[in-house]
Chains A and B, each alone.
Chain A
Amino acid sequence: AQKVTQAQTEISVVEKEDVTLDCVYETRDTTYYLFWYKQPPSGELVFLIRRNSFDEQNEISGRYSWNFQKSTSSFNFTITASQVVDSAVYFCALYRSSNTGKLIFGQGTTLQVKP
Chain B
Amino acid sequence: DTGVSQNPRHKITKRGQNVTFRCDPISEHNRLYWYRQTLGQGPEFLTYFQNEAQLEKSRLLSDRFSAERPKGSFSTLEIQRTEQGDSAMYLCAYERGSPSGNTIYFGEGSWLTVV
Count A-B contacts at CB 8 Å: 63
Size band of the A side of the interface? Answer: 20 to 34
Report the minimum CB–CB distance from A21 to chain B (whole Å): 13
In the assembled complex, the Cα of A89 lies from the Cα of B104 at a distance in Å of: 18
Q: Is the CB of A43 within 8 A of B109?
A: yes
Q: Is the CB of A105 within 8 A of B108?
A: no
Chain B residues whose CB sits within 8 angstroms of the CB of A4 once the complex forms: 42
In the assembled complex, the Cα of A107 lies from the Cα of B40 at a distance in Å of: 7
- For B76-115 the 0/1 string (1 means CB < 8 A from A) is 0000000000000101010100001111111111010000
Q: Is the CB of A107 within 8 A of B41?
A: yes
Q: Is the CB of B106 within 8 A of A50?
A: no
In the assembled complex, the Cα of A12 lies from the Cα of B9 at a distance in Å of: 30
In the assembled complex, the Cα of A106 lies from the Cα of B31 at a distance in Å of: 22
Chain B residues whose CB sits within 8 angstroms of the CB of A108 once the complex forms: 40-42
Cβ-based interface call for A52 (8 A): yes
Q: Is the CB of A47 within 8 A of B105?
A: yes
Contacts A43-B111, A105-B44: A33 and B2 contacting too (C-beta < 8 A)? no
In the assembled complex, the Cα of A37 lies from the Cα of B108 at a distance in Å of: 13
Cβ-based interface call for B43 (8 A): yes
Chain B residues whose CB sits within 8 angstroms of the CB of A11 once the complex forms: none
